[in-house]
Structures are given as C-alpha cells and as structure tokens.
A and B are shown apart, each in its own frame.
Chain A
Amino acid sequence: MKIGRTVFSIFMARSKQKKKATPGQEALSTAKISNRYFLAAYFLFALQGGVALLGAVDLVIPDLPSPVPAEYGRSIHLGLAVFWPLIGTMGLINYFVQSELQRTIYSYRLLRWQFWLVFLSALAIYSTLALGIGNGREYLEGLPVFYLGVCLSLMLGIYNLFRTIIKAGRASPPVVCMVSGMMFLFLLLLPNAFSHSNPVADESIRFWVVHSWEEVAFELTTTGIVAAFLLETALADRKTVEKLLYLEITLTTVGGLFGVGHHYFWLGFPAYWLIIGTAFSCLQVVPVILLGYLAYKALRLKQPLSKRVKLSWLLILSSLFYHITGAAGLGLTITVPMINLYMHGTLLTSGHAHLALFGSLGLLVLGGSFYCLSSGAELDDQAFRRGKAGVLLLNGGLLAMGTALILAGMIETYLLRVAGMNFSAVQGVIRPYLLARAGGGLIFTSGDLLLAWTIFTVYKGKRARANPAPAK
C-alpha cells in the first residue's frame, strides 16, 4: 500500500509554483517528471510479465477461462512489449541529454505533457484491446488515434530536446545519437498511425515499426544511452566513445533502414530484395560489434563500482549479450534467404523476437531506468542481493523461453516444411516445448516482479530521506 501511495504521489505531483521557477526548482521539477517515465516503464513491464505468462499458459491448458478475449491477449502482450521500453527510453534520453549537456531540459512543462500523452495513449490501447476493440495490425493492434497521441508525444520530446541543444549551444555524439533515434521513432511511426488498404503496402509499412523501430531508432537510442552511461560512470574515455559513435550512427541508419528488406522477401516484392535485404542485414551487425567492443573495453578497466552502478551495469551487460547473440547473431542467421524460406512464419521467429526485443532493448531500458531512478541513493546489501536475484531470474527465464521457442521452431520447420506433416499434428508434437516456454515465463515473471519491487523500495527510501516526516 505504501509503495502504491508513493507511486501515486509521484504520478499526480504537480508543480504548485505559479511564479517563474528558479533554475534549482526547474531542475527539481524536471527530475520529478523524469522519474515518472521510469516508474511507468517499470509498472508496465511488471504488468507485461503477468499478461504474457497468462498467454503462454493459455496455449498449453485447454479451455482456460480468460477475462480478455483470447485473440486480444497476444495483442496486449505485444503492445506492452513495445510501449514500456518506449516510455523508459524517453525518460533515459531526457536524463542523459541533461547529463551530457550539463543543463536542465528546456521545458519541464513540455516534458510533463509528453509523458501524459504517451502514457495515456498506451493505457488507452491496452484498455480498448481488453474490450476487444482494435485495428487488427500485428504490433499496432490499437486504434490509429492512439498512435497519433504517441506521435504527438514524440514530437513534443524532439522539440524540447532541440531547444535544449540550442540553449546549450553544443551537442555531443551521444546526444546526436539519442536525438536521431527519437526522430526516427517519430518518422517511422507516423505512417503507421493510418491503415493502408493494400495488404502488401500495409505490411511493408508496418515493418517500419516492427523492424526499423527496433533496428534503427532504438538501436540509435540504445547506443547513445550506453555511451552516455559509460561516460558518466567513467567506464569509458570520451575520445574512444566519440571516435566510434559517428561510425555507429552511420552504419546503424544505413544498414537498419535498408535491412528492413529481409522482411520483404516473401511479401510480393521483386526477387532483388533478397539481395538488398541480405546485404544490408550483414552491415547491421557491424555497429553491434562496435558496441560490444565498447563494453569489452569498459570491463577490462576493472573499475570499482558502487552497488547501484554495478546492478545497472549488470542489466546493461545482459542486454548487450542478447544484442550480440539473439538480435545480431540469430537474426543474421535466419536472414539468409535459403534459411528464411524454411523458418519464416514459425516459432523460430518468435524465439528471435523474445531475445531481440526484450533481451537487448528491454534489459537496457531496465538497467538505465534503475540507474536513473536510484540516482542519489545507495543500495544496502539486501536490496543489492534481491536485485541481483531478479536479474538472474530474468536472464534464466528469458534463456529458457528463447531456447524452448527456437527448438519448437526448428522441429516445426522440419515437420511442416520438410516432412510434410499437417499443421495441427505439428502443434501436438511441439506442445512440450510450449509448456517449457510457459515455465520459462514463470521464472521470468518472478524476476520481473522481484526487480520491480527492488527499484520501488530503493526509490521509496530515497524519497523518504529527501522529505523526512515532520517530528511529532
């Protein structure tokens, strides 16, 4: 209850200052509003664990009653999977742009508007989907008007960031990286706020979010956030980071934008897209290797770290592990047209999506949000142990889910596409793997709730110390 009240008071807190705020008050208001992004991300992340687990169980227990129509449960899971990392990323960009430029964000009022627009749009999508009202486009199942709300929020964010850069009179490479990512988030979502009647056009534009959000926009924001984190914690020197970052931005943008071609192989596009998609997908791996190199250099420093930074770094390192293995390695393997021809449309894609979307993006946002939200606080031994257990469970659960889905996908590919078995019969054969996936989901959700609990208690303690109760 106390945690609930703390979260509620943060979300509802408004600046009562009517007069023009002083720089100190502005910084305080900005920090308060930024925290809302992180708390919202953790709250929606915890919710996603529960929703996804119910969906996984529904697949293996026949006739399981559900308050949400079965065909909309998956839509809510996908919607949550996209929007909590988006909200967390917005908060992280604000935090690290301020830290890089050494000044507060241009307008904390815009920051507040931006938050409420994206948060309420996301909530509206989940609520309407729970009632069976949607748009029937995978990953973008909500009503188009709500995506316009998200676009507006992104626009406000971009404007605020530009004004901040103009006021600061400079922009460092991590700032350029993060702001470019934010601009791509907006540009790639806007055409998807509308439906297109031709199914081939609709599918190809939909992949600007399904693929390009993840592999262009979020790839840029991730790189900028990791770079800014390494600089702030002195885990990297500015010269190395700045040297690599412009190369990262160029390769990510070019490789990612044209790499969308690997989703166009079997959509009704001409055959030369097989070459375009494969060639640019190979290019996409290079910036991931560069990011891995930055992390390797940071690890070699063997710098003593506080428990707070250590736990955040653990989450970010987990994210980089999945970035290299699940996203880049597995992603490139299944992009090869001869492999893709057989595995496309099987659970192998789902295994890749779990490792790439949650593994690389989700864990990064959790790590960054943890770092920012606990700023100014230190973890005691108990909180650190609890947090570490949460990270371990998340990784164990994710690896179990990913492995089960990949194995199920490989068996499905062979039985369906090579042995010629009927689809329904194949589902019976892979059921044990789906059960194992549900087990992995249970482990994952335990870690999800443990980590969310840890961050809420750390944050609550920080607030209690900042605002001590008046003596009786």
Chain B
Amino acid sequence: MLVLSRKIGEVITIGNSIQITVLSYDRGVVRLGIEAPKSVPVHRKEIYEKIIQINRQAAKTQLMALKDAIANSNIKFSHLIDEDINSIAIKKLNNKE
C-alpha cells in the first residue's frame, strides 16, 4: 500500500482523471472531496460490502419461501406502475415457448 501524508487542502491524483482533496479533519473524521469521471463509481466501502452480503442472501431465496412470504405478509402492490414497461423482457422470454 502506498502511504502519503497530506495537509488540509492538498490533493492526490490517481491517473489522469481522479483527484482526491483533503477538506477537513475533525476529531478523527477526515472529509475528502473526490472528483472522478461518471464512469468510475465511488462509494463508501461499507455500502459495497453490505450489497454483496444482501445479494448473497437474496441469491439463495427459495421459490416456496417467497410464495409463503407473499401469502403471509401484509404486502400491497401499487397498481399505478406501468406494467407494460416492466414486462417487456418477460414477454419476450415467454414468447419462445
């Protein structure tokens, strides 16, 4: 790992298009300003890890479990959404039969 010391207001560049500025430091909290192209996603690592954990849990959902959960829950679906838009892919898939 590359370790650099920076003062408030100083900048680190990564490649040609990413800049990280140290904005402030207060009681153990560092505020950073990050400039990066839109194509480079920038996120707190915890969010990223949380989503991975959620995906792993979701990926093993059983059909019966979801069926039961729907039946036993108080869930109400909004009918205001445009179903046609959300079922394009499905229709296409079902057409193969």
Q: Do A and B make up one complex?
A: no
Task: Enumerate chain B interface residues (CB-CB to A < 8 A).
Answer: none
